[in-house]
Structure 1
Amino acid sequence: MTFWVWDSSLSIGIEVIDDQHRSIVDYINELDVAYRGKDRERVTEVISGLVDYTITHFAFEESLMEKAGYPLLDSHKKGHEKFTARIAGYKDKHDRGADVTRQLMLELQRWLEIHIRNDDHDYAPYAKKILGKNGWLNKTLRKFFG
């Protein structure tokens, strides 16, 4: 049984961002599998990968919003920063031996559903205007994701 199934209502209509959001959902599901399998080493690996991927995703998203002239960029960035700090706190607790995996998964799911449905849907129209211009997307994808 999968912990969280991607729901089309989470789609913001920008394929590259939707794919990144799906990847985050995949990480959460991997975390669930490792947790249920009582594989603490794998939980540690998945949490680390999730933190790294989320930071990269946020940087990509913020770059897109900046290029698009999104007027609420600063507020959106602050939301990302607060979320990143909370997730880093969970990682620290896990690294010190606390069992925070289930709590982390629920936090991730709640935050992402609210953030994607509200904040990300809000910037999507701005971003769509610039995605096809001057190869911006391909250059930026290479910059952030290799």
Structure 2
Amino acid sequence: MFEWKDEYSVDVTEIDKQHKELFRIGGKIAELVMLKDEYDHFDEIMAILAELRDYTIYHFQFEEKLMNKYGYSELDHHKIEHLFLTKKIEKFESQDIDEKQGEAIIELVRFISDWIAGHILKTDMKYKEFFNRVMKE
């Protein structure tokens, strides 16, 4: 489900590396969905959410610093999307996941899928040409 494809590349090595890591974390969540068992996975879910939150913050800060350094005109819009995505992860962490683990995991997988489709494949692709131009100058 969360398999990296070359078409996702923004041709900025470090950002692609970070996006691949986000895919890896998303894959861990998808694996929990595939288990379809009755075991308590609360600790695993919370650990993955914390990993996702921490790595997301790191990745967003990296992107924003790069955008600022090179004068990317859509930086403010990008920051707003980043804030929304970060708040959404925090919302997941604050939910009562323990009682409804199956539903929470499925909702989390949907969120990450939408994030990949909406943010990485659309919003981030907008800066692909920009970075490839300015970083080679």
- TM normalised by structure 2 equals 0.84
Partner of 1:141: none
Shift of 1:96: 6.1
Compare 38-47 and 16-25 and name the one that shifted more: 38-47
Shift of 1:34: 3.5
1:23 aligns with 2:35: no
- Number of positions where the alignment pairs a residue of Structure 1 with one of Structure 2: 131
User: In the alignment, residue 62 of structure 2 is paired with which amino acid?
Assistant: F
CA RMSD of aligned residues (A): 2.0
Q: 1:33 aligns with which of 22, 31, 34?
A: 31
- TM normalised by structure 1 equals 0.79
Partner of 2:110: 106
Partner of 1:42: 44
* 3-state SS, counterpart of residue 71 of structure 1: coil
Cα offsets for 1:7-53 (capped at 9, x unmatched):
22211111111111110010011122244264321221111101110
Shift of 1:103: 0.6
% identical aligned pairs: 26
1: CA distance, partners of 2:108 / 2:129? 31
Shift of 1:93: 0.8
Is the Cα contact below 8 Å between 1:27 and 1:46 reproduced in 2? Answer: yes
Partner of 1:120: 124
Shift of 1:102: 1.2
Query: CA, structure 1 residues 60+94, in 2 after alignment: closer, same or farther (shift >3 Å)?
Result: farther
User: In the alignment, residue 13 of structure 1 is paired with which amino acid?
Assistant: D
2: CA distance, partners of 1:9 / 1:120? 12
Q: 1:58-77 alignment to 2 at 5 Å?
A: 58-77=60-79
Is the Cα contact below 8 Å between 1:10 and 1:113 reproduced in 2? Answer: no
Cα offsets for 1:43-65 (capped at 9, x unmatched):
21111101110011001000011
Higher relative contact order (CA 8 A, sep 6+): 2
Unaligned runs of 5+ in 2: none
Partner of 1:55: 57
1:78 aligns with 2:103: no
User: In the alignment, residue 75 of structure 1 is paired with which amino acid?
Assistant: H
